[in-house]
Structure 1
Amino acid sequence: MFVRISSVHLWGLALAIVSYVSPVCADAQQGLGSGVPGAPDVSVNPNYHVYRWVKDGISYLQLNDLKGGVLMAVEVVQDQLIVLPMGSLRAVPKNGRAVDQLEEGELVYGNSDATISVKGDTFEVTVACGNPADCSTAMMQPSP
């Protein structure tokens, strides 16, 4: 036994599904951790995208490659840096002080909260603070 469904009913059903799903999918495509996060690109380097958000006094920075791949994301709280668990780069163990910073790295992002620089395949994120020897910093490299 076949039930006859008119094309008008099918189109109506399709539109209902699309209108229900579209807002959910749109939200899933934006924000921290996505390839196109919906925040302005604040990078000073044409080879990378840096996106910045501030919420409740906390700065969030996300570094993407030119194809939209997330390389890393960090959180800056006052003068402390927290590497967030996302992106293709991994933290390189070090003592956490700017004394070990990259020599002659190329600037990717710089603001009053932090800087991101790159040399080769190594990225460095340093929080701006009064005494450079006490500034929180992280070195990031591609996973082996």
Structure 2
Amino acid sequence: MLAVAVVVGFSSAAWSAAPSTGLGQAWPNAADVSVSPHYHVYRFVLDGIQYIQVNDLGGTVHAAIAAANGTVLVLPIGVDAAKAKSAVAGTSATASSIAETVYQDATVSVSATPQSDGSVQVLATPKAAADTCSNPGECSNVVAKPQ
């Protein structure tokens, strides 16, 4: 019996360490990594590709993107997926003065811009090679959410 309890305990620990799930859900099983107090941002990683989802404070999924190796793709997820865009590395994220950075790491920056019709335009910009850090330990860190 003790052996079964130990195995079950270790398998539970393994399950809790598994990657988070829930891409496309209002309240996914993932940490909120938003750098904005106005949005929830969730990050998922699978096979070296990071998936970033932008929700409003009510849980509505607005858009999601996939990013890997300097390439950003808009995913067909969220009520504003048709308005989401990806920019070219090294370009300005957006010309709008009301755009707000909602997520940023060593490889991609994501901003959200409220539109007059109540929708949100999400813009993902991969970082240019010159913008990325040379210390692998720092490159994986996400900018902390303001307290």
- TM-score by length of structure 1 reads 0.62
1:120 aligned onto 2:111: no
The structure showing larger relative contact order (alpha-carbon pairs under 8 Å, at least 6 residues apart) is 2
SS class of match (2:81): strand
Say whether the 8 Å CA contact 1:59–1:113 is kept in structure 2.
no
Aligned to 1:142: none
Unpaired stretches in structure 2, ≥5 consecutive residues:
1-20, 116-120, 132-147
Mapped pair 1:49 → 2:40? yes
> Is 1:102 aligned to residue 94 of structure 2?
yes
Instruction: Return closer, same or farther for 1:117/1:70 CA change in 2, 3 Å cut-off.
Output: same
1:73 lines up with 2:64 in the alignment: yes
* Cα distance in 1 for residues equivalent to 2:58 and 2:107: 26
Q: Deviations over 1:22-68 (max 9, x none)?
A: xxxxxxxx510000111000001011000001111110100001111
Written as runs of structure 1 = structure 2, the 5 A alignment for 1:1-144 is 31-92=22-83, 96-97=87-88, 99=91, 101-103=93-95, 104=97, 105-121=99-115, 122-130=121-129
Shift of 1:119: 3.3
> What secondary structure is seen at the aligned counterpart in 1 of 2:50?
strand
Look up the SS of the partner of 1:68 in the other structure. coil
**TM-score under structure 2 length normalisation:** 0.60
Mind listing any 5+ residue stretches in structure 1 that lack a counterpart? 1-29, 133-144
SS at match of 2:129: coil
Is the 2:85–2:124 Cα contact (8 Å) retained in structure 1?
no
Residue identity in the other structure for 1:79 = G
Percent identical pairs in the alignment equals 38
